[in-house]
Structure 1
Amino acid sequence: MAILYHHPFCPFSRFVRLVLAEMGLEADLIEEKVWERREGFLTLNPAGTTPVLADEQIAAVPGSIIIAEWLDETRGESLGDRRLLPQSASKRVEVRRLMSWFAEKFAEEVSVPLVQEKIYKRFMPSTSGGGAPDPALIRAAKNNVKYHLQYIGYLIRQRKWLAGDAMTYADLMAAAHISVVDYLGDIPWTEDETAREWYARVKSRPSFRTLIADRVIGMPPSAAYADLDF
């Protein structure tokens, strides 16, 4: 069985967990606290970041987008119309563009600072950057959420899913990053009803069940987090 080195509230790890579930693949989950710089983990991924996927075919596939591409190359054709990366080259460009939007832009402006400040710092020693959260970073990230929701709403008003008529990696990447912010209660769902309805569709999928069950010790989720009819 494959092994996924992850952190439950790393949005990139959550994306891979969603992808595996949508593909009907199982993996043993090993929680990795990247700030500990564990030697065995650094051997798998010298960058020291999650996620990393390993199975009998390959020792280590590091990074969410690399893992997604590798899974499509090795499993994609067998999925038929459930394939998460389209056959068409032009449609693949749009999926990859939106994956990049959420894995880079949304991550930098919203999900990564919120997870770092509100979750990771609670468990990191001061020597590794732990301590009190930075209110300025949190305010900026919460403000940035709004225009990302508006962009999602804009896309969904033109398409069934973010990148077109079928659900793709783009939807799962976006939903994975939004999910950690939703846990923290920092998504203003009244900002765009269309974006909320899209997320409700994704969150209602069976692949999302294990994510919804995740909890941070001493920090309960927002009221909307596990509510499929929020």
Structure 2
Amino acid sequence: MRKLYHLWLSPQSRKVRVLLKEKGLEFDLEVEKLWERRPEFLAMDPSGNGPVLVEHDGRALADSQAICEYLDEVYPNKMLIGFDPPSRAETRRLVAWWDHKFGPEVSEPLVFEKVMKRFMGMGHPESSVIRIAHQNMKIHLDYIAWLTERRNWLAGDDFSLADIAAAAHLSCLDYLGDIPWADHPGAHDWYARVKSRPSFRPLLADHIPGLPPPKHYADLDF
């Protein structure tokens, strides 16, 4: 059986999980506590960042975008990066936006301060870091609204990896109850559509030991 080594509130791990489900590919999940730096895991992913997908033949694939590109090429039953060069370029641009701009500005500091510090025994959250991340979040939520006013989905007419990447990040923050949905109806309506997809439902069933999600997290009519 295919296996995905992941971490609970890792947007990159969640991105791969949703893509696998969209393609109808079966897999098992294995929680990897990245801070433990297991030699066996580092042998598969020297960066230690995860996720790692191990295919049926034992081939280990590291880096979420590399995994997604691989899966889209090897299992083309449902193309999620795009059907032509312009759409693929736009999808990749937006995936990079979420993973390399929204991540450092918003999701990474919030997850680190509110969750990872607890698991790693690094003390209390830093309120100033959380405040700045919340301020940064507003710009990105407005960007989602701007895009969806002009497109059916984030990268164009069709649901794509751009939507998966954005929703993966937001789902982590929604688990923490950190998104002011009422102030951002455009982003809310788009996320509600993603949230209702069968591929996204397993994420809504996640339950981190000692850190339950807010009541609205799994509610499709939130």
Q: Could you tell me how far apart the structure 2 residues matched to 1:84 and 1:41 are?
A: 28
Per-residue deviation, 1:27: 1.1
1:10-42: CA deviation from partner (whole Å, max 9, x where unpaired): 111011000000000011111001000011101
Alignment of 1:7-156 (within 5 A): 7-57=7-57, 59-76=59-76, 79=77, 82-125=78-121, 130-156=122-148
Conservation of the 8 A alpha-carbon contact between 1:44 and 1:59: no
Give yes or no for the alignment of 1:227 onto 2:219. Answer: yes
State the TM-score, normalizing by the size of structure 1.
0.93
Give yes or no for the alignment of 1:215 onto 2:215. Answer: no
Q: Give the SS at the match of 1:43.
A: helix
Q: Where do 5+ consecutive residues of structure 1 fail to align?
A: none
Conservation of the 8 A alpha-carbon contact between 1:12 and 1:51: yes
Q: Give the SS at the match of 2:30.
A: strand
Change (3 A) 1:58 1:164: farther
Deviates more, 1:158-167 or 1:133-142: 133-142
Give yes or no for the alignment of 1:195 onto 2:196. Answer: no
Q: Could you tell me how far apart the structure 2 residues matched to 1:69 and 1:58 are?
A: 18
Q: Could you tell me how far apart the structure 2 residues matched to 1:114 and 1:39 are?
A: 28
C-alpha RMSD of the superposition: 1.1
Q: Where do 5+ consecutive residues of structure 2 fail to align?
A: none
Code of the residue aligned with 1:123 in structure 2: it is F
1:132-191: CA deviation from partner (whole Å, max 9, x where unpaired): 111111111111111100000000000000000000000000000000001111111122
Conservation of the 8 A alpha-carbon contact between 1:111 and 1:177: yes
1:89-125: CA deviation from partner (whole Å, max 9, x where unpaired): 0110000000000011010111111111111111114
Per-residue deviation, 1:58: 5.5
Conservation of the 8 A alpha-carbon contact between 1:150 and 1:191: no
State the TM-score, normalizing by the size of structure 2.
0.97
Q: Give the SS at the match of 1:218.
A: coil
Q: Could you tell me how far apart the structure 2 residues matched to 1:105 and 1:190 are?
A: 24
Give yes or no for the alignment of 1:159 onto 2:151. Answer: yes
One of 154, 157, 168 as aligned partner of 2:160: 168
Deviates more, 1:138-147 or 1:174-183: 138-147
